[in-house]
Structure 1
Amino acid sequence: MGQTITEKILTRATDQDGVRAGENHAVRPARMIAYDFPGYTDVMFRQMRDDFGITELDDPSRYVVFIDHMLTKNNEREDEVHQVTRDWCEFYGIELHEGQGIGHQLTAELGLAIPGDFLVHFDGHISGVGAFNALGWGIRRDLIEAWVTGQVYVDIPATTRFDLVGEFPDGVDSRDLVHTIIEMVGADGCAHQVMEFGGPGAASMKIDHRQGLCGMAMFSGAVSAIFEPDEMSMAYARNVARRDFEPVYPDADAQYAARYEIDLSTLVPRVVRPGSARGPNTATVDELAGTPITRAFIGSCASGRIEDLRAAALVLDGQTVAPTVELNVVPTSRKVLQQAEDEGILDVLRGAGAKIAISSCDFCFGYQQPLQPGENCISTGVLNISGRMGSPDANIYMGSPYTVAASAVTGTIVESVAAQHAGAAR
Structure 2
Amino acid sequence: MTAKTFAQKAIEQASGIPDLVPGQIVDAYPDLYMSHTASWRCIRTLEKMGVDKLYDVDRVAMVMDHLSPAMTAKTASDHSLCRSFARRMGVKNFFDVNAGIAHIVLMENGLIRPGQFVIGTDSHSTIYGALGAFGTGVGFSEITAAWVTGKLWVKVPESVRIEIDGELGSGIYAKDIMLKLIGDLGADGLTYCSVEFTGSYVESMSVSERMTFCNLAMEMGAKNAFVAPDDITFAYLDEAGVPREELKVLLPDEGAEYRSTVRLDGATLSPQIAVPHTVDNVLPVGDVAGTKLDQVFIGSCANAKYDDLVIAADVLSGHKVSRDVRLIVTPASAKIMAQASASGVLATLIEAGAMITNPGCGACAGNGGAMADGETTLSTANRNFQGRMGSYDSKIFLSSPATAAASAIRGVITDPREIEAVVA
Would you say same fold, with TM above 0.5? yes
Give the gaps of 5 or more residues in structure 2: none
Kindly provide the CA deviation profile for residues 197-232 of structure 1, in whole angstroms up to 9, marking residues without a partner as x.
Answer: 112211111111110111111211111211011110
| Aligned partners of 2:406 and 2:419 also within 8 Å | no
- AA matched with 2:95: H
CA contact (8 A) 2:14 2:30 kept: yes
1:71-110 mapped onto 2 (5 Å cutoff): 71-72=68-69, 76-94=73-91, 95-98=93-96, 99-110=98-109
CA–CA separation in structure 2 for the residues paired with 1:45 and 1:209: 35
How far residue 246 of structure 1 moved from its aligned partner, in angstroms, is 1.6
Kept in 2, the 8 Å contact 1:176–1:399? The answer is yes
Distance 1:290 1:328 in 2: 20
- The TM-score with structure 1 as length reference comes to 0.94
Distance 2:298 2:101 in 1: 14
- Other-structure match for 2:291: 291
Partner amino acid, structure 2, of 1:121: G
Q: How many residues align?
A: 416
Q: Trace 1:106-125 onto structure 2 (pairs within 5 A).
A: 106-125=105-124
Partner Cα separation in structure 2 for residue 185 and residue 398 of structure 1? 17
Q: Which residue of 1 aligns with 2:63?
A: 66
Query: Aligned equivalents of 1:250 and 1:156: distance in 2?
Result: 14
Matches within 5 A, 1:133-282: 133-140=132-139, 142-242=142-242, 244-277=246-279, 279=280, 281-282=281-282
RMSD, aligned α-carbons: 1.7
Residue 80 of structure 1 and its aligned partner are, at CA, apart by 1.5
What is the CA-CA distance between 1:115 and the residue it aligns to?
0.5
User: Which amino acid is the alignment partner of residue 32 of structure 2?
Assistant: R
Which secondary structure state, in structure 1, belongs to the residue aligned with residue 362 of structure 2?
A: coil
Partner of 1:359: 359
> Which moved further from structure 2: 316-325 or 146-155?
146-155
User: Is the contact between residue 124 and residue 223 of structure 1 (CA under 8 Å) also seen in structure 2?
Assistant: no
CA-CA distance at 1:346 after TM superposition: 0.9
Percent pairwise identity? 32
The one-letter amino acid paired with 2:285 is V
Residues in 2 aligned to 1:132 and 1:170: alpha-carbon distance in whole angstroms: 27
- Supply the AA of the counterpart residue of 2:299: G
* Gapped regions of structure 1 (runs ≥ 5): 422-426
- The answer for the alignment partner of 1:32 in structure 2 is 33
1: distance between equivalents of 2:206 and 2:167? Answer: 11
Partner SS for 2:363: coil
Tell me how far apart the structure 1 counterparts of residues 236 and 356 of structure 2 sit (CA, whole Å).
Answer: 27
Contact 2:315 2:419 in 1 (8 A): no
2-structure distance, mates of 1:419, 1:292: 17
CA distance in 2 between counterparts of 1:294 and 1:251 reads: 49
Distance 2:182 2:374 in 1: 28
- Deviation per CA, 1:378-397: give whole Å up to 9, x if none: 00112211110111111000
SS in 2 for 1:130: helix
Structure 1 distance, partners of 2:238, 2:34, is 21
Task: Give the partner amino acid of 1:202.
Answer: V
1:239: how far off?
A: 3.1
Equivalences for 1:307-318 in 2 at 5 Å? 307-318=307-318
| Alpha-carbon distance in 2 for matches of 1:330, 1:2 | 43
Q: Give the match's secondary structure for 1:363.
A: helix
Q: Hey, what's the Cα distance between the residues in 2 that align with 1:128 and 1:85?
A: 24
